[in-house]
Amino acid sequence: MTPSQVIGQLRDGMSIGIGGWGSRRKPMALVREILRSPLKDLTLVSYGGPDVGLLCAAGKVKKVVYGFVSLDSIPLEPHFRAARQNGTIEAVEFDEGMLQWGLYAAALRLPFLPTRAGLGSDVMRINPQLKLVQSPYDDGEELVAMPALTLDVALIHMNRADAQGNGQFLGPDLYFDDLFCMAAKRRFMTCEKIVPTKDLLREGSVHTLRINRMMVDGVIETPGGAHFTECPPDYGRDEAFQKEYAATASDPQAWKAFKARYLDVANEDEYQKAVRNR
Amino acid sequence: MSDVTRAEYCAVAIAETFRGDGEMLVSPIGNLPAIGARLAKLTFEPDLLLTDSVACLLANVLPLGGAAGPAPIVEGWMPYRLVFDVVWSGRRHVMMGATQIDRFGNQNIACIGPFERPKAQLLGMRGAPGNTINHPTSYWVPNHSPKSFVAKVDVVSGIGYDRAAALGKTASRFHEIRRVVSNLGVFDFNTPSHTMRLASIHPGVSIDDVVKNTGFELAIPDKVPETRAPTADELRLIREVIDPKGFGYQEVKG
């Protein structure tokens, strides 16, 4: 498959879960392909980073479901901030752990999972749809019923995968990528390199094989596909590029130039070429 | 020890917030909280669990910001989902930042202005709602002013004592705002109605300075002690072992 074949299967208004965390191991090649597509009115569910910022800046987004949006080394995501402050997107903000719980509930096909997180905080006020549930046991404790965050599509990026869709993370953290896949109806994975199944244990122990083929509907080899977020051990974050990206938020001319140079290109290969030639 | 800096007093005050924690995961957010937590681990709380800020628990203490030091000794794996598990299990003490905090310890890091259309979008809720309902939480505010210590926070990310009390005994039984450390002093909630109290004042700061910079009425005891000075050994640990590049001094001047 190619990124454009994946994104060609998506429709306006879909809810899309994006793996990774902040500015780390984000499926950016697929995000860039969405930028090149006519898709609109998307709902994003993300431990947000530049995936959210880029899609907001490009006017692709109706709603963002998140616990935070950050570029890590730049704490506040400037394009997301602009979208929030200009009121161009709808915000559904949860505690980080509640977001995990919503994905987990969807993964387990449960309507909700109970949690203490959120009680007493403005998470309850700004999400009036949230309801409490009482423990049916003797304790009778009242808890938040975190609703399942069922996704139309999940997009993730792994270090390695085989052609059948078994994925491998070689960095220190899987984040919640398995839950994104299990919470979604359609699941697509990009990876730095597709290797034969028999070679999957060459670079990492069996514990790194946390995405298996029943969680994945399509796998695409996209070297550099997480750029400019980090994808250790294959590469770190491109801090210079991230700075260049962040600076475009306060300057419409700079955004236009950034867009022309890196985003309005024919495909991912052209993007990677533009990055190399800068 | 007249050459002790304000940042060093803050580091010691932060370390003191972790006294008695024992075998707990300590999550310090910010440079001085990181210095304080490491200082506590190297002195009176050797059993604290500290991460490398990525996904590993480290058995030894490394200097901040990539300064030369010992090789890391990894003692465990702590990816984000395990951190959430620890949060919900309660074996954690976090020191977070607070863009705004009120007299009951309600904290805001989400946004300034109305949530629906913020004047300034900040970090988002992050883990604050889950932290404050599940385990001890302290705050570090390096810029104590009427803009950070406010009568009412715009959005409640971390819940304070009034909101915890309103939830009732069962829901609030794990809630504890241990302490707030600012560049001016140390604050706790040891009052009958759990409102913020000036617990100690950093040398060189007057009670007036604190009152003037606080946007609500603080409980002020008759005698306000000075924040404890670092011992000679603590000073050496801060300067030579934990923060040889001086990141703490960038967060608080003077």
Kindly provide the ipTM of the predicted complex, given to two decimals.
Answer: 0.96
Average pLDDT over residues A93-111: 98
Both tokens assigned to A2: 């190619």
Cα angle at A63 between A62 and A65, to 5 degrees?
160
Q: Which of B115, B121, B171 sits opposite A142 (nearest CB)?
A: B171
B54 CB neighbours in chain A (<8 A) are 172-173
pLDDT at A1: 87
pLDDT digits (tens, 9 = 90+) for A144-185: 999 999 999 999 999 999 999 999 999 999 999 999 999 999
% of residues, chain A, pLDDT over 70: 100
Q: What is the largest CA-CA distance in chain B?
A: 51
The tens digit of pLDDT for each residue in A229-252 reads: 999 999 999 999 999 999 999 999
The alpha carbon of residue B201 is apart from the nearest alpha carbon of chain A, in Å, by 30
- Our CA-based measurement puts residue B48 at a distance from the nearest CA of chain A, in whole angstroms, of 22
Name every residue in A having a CB less than 8 A away from some CB of B: 21, 48, 66-70, 75-76, 80-81, 84-85, 87, 91, 93-98, 100, 115-123, 125-126, 139-142, 172-176
Give the span between the Cα atoms of A261 and A273, in whole angstroms.
Answer: 10
pTM recorded for the entire structure: 0.97
CA angle (B14 as vertex; B9, B18 as ends), nearest 5: 140
Of B27, B38, B211, give the one whose Cα is nearest residue B134: B27
Over residues B155-180, the pLDDT tens digits come to: 999 999 999 999 999 999 999 999 99
Average pLDDT of the segment spanning B130-157: 98
DSSP state letter for B63: P
> Of B77, B125, B135, B251, which to mutate for an interface test with A (greatest number of A Cβ within 10 Å)?
B125
DSSP string, A86-101: TT-SEEEE--HHHHHH
Sign of the four-CA dihedral A6, A12, A14, A18: positive
pLDDT in tens, B47-77: 999 999 999 999 999 999 988 999 999 999 9
C-alpha angle B91-B94-B96 in degrees, rounded to nearest 5:
165
Our CA-based measurement puts residue A152 at a distance from the nearest CA of chain B, in whole angstroms, of 23
Alpha-carbon distance of B13 to B36, in angstroms, equals 8
Per the DSSP assignment, residues forming a β-bridge with A108 are none
**B1, pLDDT greater than 50:** no
pLDDT of residue B253 exceeding 90, the answer is no
Percent of chain B predicted with pLDDT > 90: 97
Cross-chain CB nearest to B80 (options A94, A118, A173)? A173
pLDDT of B2: 53
CA B87 to CA B126: how far, in whole Å?
Answer: 13
Q: Which two tokens stand for residue B242?
A: 């934990």
In chain B, whose CA is at the least distance from the CA of A117?
A: B130
B181-239 tens-digit pLDDT: 999 999 999 999 999 999 999 999 999 999 999 999 999 999 999 999 999 999 999 99
CA pair distance B126, A74, nearest whole angstrom: 16
C-alpha distances in Å from residue B171, one per residue of B133, B135, B191: 8, 12, 21
